[in-house]
Structure 1
Amino acid sequence: DMLMFGNGERPLVEVAHRLAMGEPISEIRDVRNTAIIVKEALPGWSGVDSTRLDTPGKIDPIPHPYGEDLPCADNKPVAPKKQEAKAVTVQPPRPKPWEKTYVLLPSFEKVKGDKVLYAHASRILHHETNPGCARALMQKHGDRYVWINPPAIPLSTEEMDSVFALPYKRVPHPAYGNARIPAYEMIRFSVNIMRGCFGGCSFCSITEHEGRIIQSRSEDSIINEIEAIRDTVPGFTGVISDLGGPTANMYMLRCKSPRAEQTCRRLSCVYPDICPHMDTNHEPTINLYRRARDLKGIKKILIASGVRYDIAVEDPRYIKELATHHVGGYLKIAPEHTEEGPLSKM
């Protein structure tokens, strides 16, 4: 009937309340972070074809800065382009273009058989991930359509704290018995301090799951969880295996301009250059690390999440703190976006 994607707290609560009030699941079609199957577009919505927003086609090769194949390398003069003067007209205020608007993607059948259309659909999907301005997406599958509602509004720090304060058991479900679960072993003594990532890597799905806006827990919430691990989790030896998230060093970082944050469609806040609106102050992260490692019964706090080094170098204090106290022999980074070996396999 309905697919919820992402972490899902907001859609789960909204759908549960609406069902409890007697609304049929078949009529709940407008919840953010959900997808449904439809026969046609929802009433009252207007559509725009995705090819009007992004022209499918192959990307032109980027000229090598030291190559000999650059334009004008033969020193021949280039005639200036003539530009005709255009009259300036004042347009009346328009409604927000993303409200009640959906983007029609190429059909599943076309995307499945065409790499260029696949890349085009993926690009459109990445552009519609800002909760402040994202439009719904619609794609034909056979004789039906999948309708994807815009992403949910990010959780505030207070809401994040309430989610992480729920009485989790921190052990596998009893149905697994004594089975060894590698994923559990990896996260057994780790603590999630934030959600989201504004790196915008096109091969990564974190943006679709958790969004580009960082959602951080408070220091007190994180410290309380470390103490709970220390006091209740069987086998704890005093070492926290990770204090991180999708990226190690984006805790409490976000756009300094609320207006830009609501309307921006830039795919990455750090590529090709760090956006001037982006706050890169690592002081909250440094303070958290220091407070955590001073806890009684804590021998070591390791950082196993990947470090985004393009923003880490903006604050040398963070690198010093990390290298001095929180690296267990190897510093984990994510270089696959620059290395030909991994890229050739992707």
Structure 2
Amino acid sequence: MNDTFLPMTRRELEERGVIRLDYIVVTPDAYVDHPSFAAAIIGRFVESLGFRVGVISQPGWDSPDDFMKLGSPRYAFLLSGGNMDGIVSMYTAAKKPRSSDAYSPGGRAGLRPPRPTIAYTARLKQAYPGVPVIIGGVEASNRRFAHYDYYEDKVRRSYLVDSKADLLVYGMGEKPLEQIVKLLAEGKSAGEISGIRGTCVIRGTLDGISDYIELPPFESAAADKTEFAKACGIIHENMTQAGKTLVQKHADRYLVQFPPSRPLTTPQMDAIYELPFARREHPLYTEPVPALSEVRFGITSLRGCPGMCSFCSISAHQGKRVQKRSKRSIVKEAEGFAETPGFKGVISDVGGPTANFYDAACTAKNGDGCARSCLSPKICKNLRVSHKGLCGVLEALEGVRGVRKVFIRSGIRYDYLNADRDAKFIKRLVKKHVSGQLKVAPEHTSENVLRLMNKPPYKVYESFSKRFRALSAEAGRKQYLLPYYISSHPGSTLGDAIELALALKKQGFIPEQVQDFYPTPGTLSTCMYYTGINPLTGEEVYAARSPEEKAMQRALLQFNDRKNWPLIREALRKAGREDLIGNAKGCLVPEERESAAKPSRSRAGAKARRRAKKLSNRK
């Protein structure tokens, strides 16, 4: 076996002379030793602190056997729910099982349980009752309080309560874990650990817990949507560095969340991403892991997002403040690509949640206590807008031996880019760093929906689109914007969906894929969907909850697809917009009798093939 990987088997332990591991990372994803994969970055980080670390990947959860294959760790199991929430990994927004899993070998589905944090903890406690289980990652973070579960359509308890784990680490876990492993090595028990930023614990009393805010208890939040929205608003307001300790009672026990972890410094970010990742799947696998292909030769340059879109959990998980790596560290990573098998000279991406936030910084004195978006409804005067440092990084990467192209594929925040008076970056972007298509996310056209999303007005996107096209033509580049839109987001009525469809028709753009709003746990948008209340203002919010209306809003965005026409006609009639049914230039779909008279391409093609077959048989 290749010694550059964390061990997954007893044989690897024997080859390295390891009798007992200190920590074992357990994950529902395939073990890919790459900094874009949660298990790898946590495992490598803990290893760098001087501990022996192994990995149990995608264990069978019907018995404790797979959880015992590396033995009992000296200190604890570190359980990650995976790069994605378990339910989101397994089910679509229509609650249908996904046919594939990008984080499994060969893309095979069925290798993870729906709720890995709960299922795995139960088996670990069965196998080794006295060994602490520390849970973390996206799933545990977003479900750390009482939360709405879209799949079950109900409010569930905190995953720390339901899993019976010993400790929960939320957000990016390096700083909390560094303190936790130190305390465990000093002889502290998991039950004695308290007060670490970025962690949650369960306590029978609130003795010793000070300066806290108590949320509506689980029972109230589950029974009363107003109480749920109140809790959601308090949680959001305290995600900042100045946030208070939060307490939520579950029956006779208390969930205690200590304030968020401090942001990483640039030297700390550099040290983490310079750990000795192999950048490929563990050699135990005989099939590729699809999720690796897009990121294998990409570079993470930053974490954090000041945009704080209501439907996204990145700001809650990585923090609002941008944390970035140095140019030196980024270039060093690129230099290592030349020695990596499979590298063909193309760096697929340089970015993070949004690529062009590399230089973004809050200049306000009280910035640590601000919980609002830095970009919506307009860019805050205290946000430093610049792309100077990013231009320097891209220029340095182009000078690395063996690098032919450097692309940006993680998306651009166009409102931030438009606000930069220096056109150097956008000209460089258009000329050198777009691989045919540039991802952007206007999401909708309705001012009300965009306001609820924490996104800028649509006219800002139109301005950027015009600028991008002009600069692309000037540079002689045939390239396009790839805008993403969300159907049936809270606030979006049928009328709003129709206006979005009309805007797309006017542009001559039809999305190949449309993302239905997915109420993922812990976001403001999910709270609006479930309660019909904006948790930050208390205003009532319309939400399309029936499968029928959600299907209508989705179909409207793909009005050129003939199979959607019956549903679109139904939606237009329901909204009183029969004027958009017909052959006139401004109509979205033709009359039913006219569409029926003309067979679709697929039917016409089938008839042609049948005629050809008959002629062939006659011959």
TM-score interval, normalised by the smaller of the two chains? 0.7 to 0.9
Deviation at 1:197, TM superposition (A): 0.4
Q: Measure the CA separation in 1 of the matches of 2:332 and 2:227.
A: 48
SS at match of 1:266: coil
Superposed counterparts of 1:248-327, under 5 Å? 248-257=355-364, 259-262=365-368, 264-315=369-420, 316-327=423-434
Partner of 2:487: 341
SS at match of 2:330: helix
Higher alpha-carbon deviation: 215-224 or 6-15: 6-15
Q: Measure the CA separation in 1 of the matches of 2:309 and 2:400.
A: 36
Partner of 1:130: 240
SS at match of 1:174: coil
Q: Contact 1:242–1:303 at 8 Å: present in 2 too?
A: yes
Q: Measure the CA separation in 1 of the matches of 2:232 and 2:441.
A: 22
SS at match of 2:307: coil
Tell me whether 1:112 sits opposite 2:222 in the alignment: yes
Q: Give the 3 Å change call, closer, same or farther, for CA 336–102 of structure 1 in structure 2.
A: farther
Partner of 1:242: 349
Partner of 2:201: 36
Q: Contact 1:215–1:252 at 8 Å: present in 2 too?
A: no
Aligned partner of 1:164: which letter? Y
Partner of 1:9: 174
Deviation at 1:115, TM superposition (A): 4.0
Aligned partner of 1:168: which letter? F
Q: Which runs of 5+ in 1 are unaligned?
A: 46-100
**Larger Rg, first or second structure (1 or 2):** 2
Deviation at 1:226, TM superposition (A): 1.0
Aligned partner of 2:176: which letter? P
Q: Give the 3 Å change call, closer, same or farther, for CA 182–119 of structure 1 in structure 2.
A: farther
SS at match of 1:179: coil
Q: Measure the CA separation in 1 of the matches of 2:292 and 2:209.
A: 46
Q: Give the 3 Å change call, closer, same or farther, for CA 179–142 of structure 1 in structure 2.
A: farther
Superposed counterparts of 1:159-308, under 5 Å? 159-175=268-284, 177-232=285-340, 234-257=341-364, 259-262=365-368, 264-308=369-413
SS at match of 1:319: helix
How many percent identity over aligned positions? 40
SS at match of 2:176: helix
Q: Measure the CA separation in 2 of the matches of 1:174 and 1:41.
A: 48
Deviation at 1:340, TM superposition (A): 6.3
Aligned partner of 1:261: which letter? G
Q: Give the 3 Å change call, closer, same or farther, for CA 113–184 of structure 1 in structure 2.
A: farther
SS at match of 1:198: coil
Q: Measure the CA separation in 1 of the matches of 2:486 and 2:175.
A: 40
Deviation at 1:42, TM superposition (A): 4.2
Aligned partner of 1:139: which letter? Q
Q: Measure the CA separation in 2 of the matches of 1:137 and 1:317.
A: 45
TM-score, with structure 1 as normaliser: 0.78
- Large movers: runs of 4+ above 4 Å: none
SS at match of 2:441: coil
TM-score, with structure 2 as normaliser: 0.44
Number of residue equivalences = 286
Tell me whether 1:25 sits opposite 2:132 in the alignment: no
Deviation at 1:241, TM superposition (A): 1.0
Q: Tell me which of 245, 254, 258 is aligned to 1:145.
A: 254
Deviation at 1:342, TM superposition (A): 5.2
SS at match of 2:487: helix
Higher helix share: 2
Aligned partner of 1:265: which letter? C
Q: Measure the CA separation in 2 of the matches of 1:42 and 1:106.
A: 19
Q: Which runs of 5+ in 2 are unaligned?
A: 1-165, 445-449, 451-484, 493-515, 518-619
Q: Measure the CA separation in 1 of the matches of 2:250 and 2:441.
A: 35
Deviation at 1:109, TM superposition (A): 3.3
Aligned partner of 2:318: which letter? E
Partner of 1:155: 264
Q: Contact 2:202–2:256 at 8 Å: present in 1 too?
A: yes
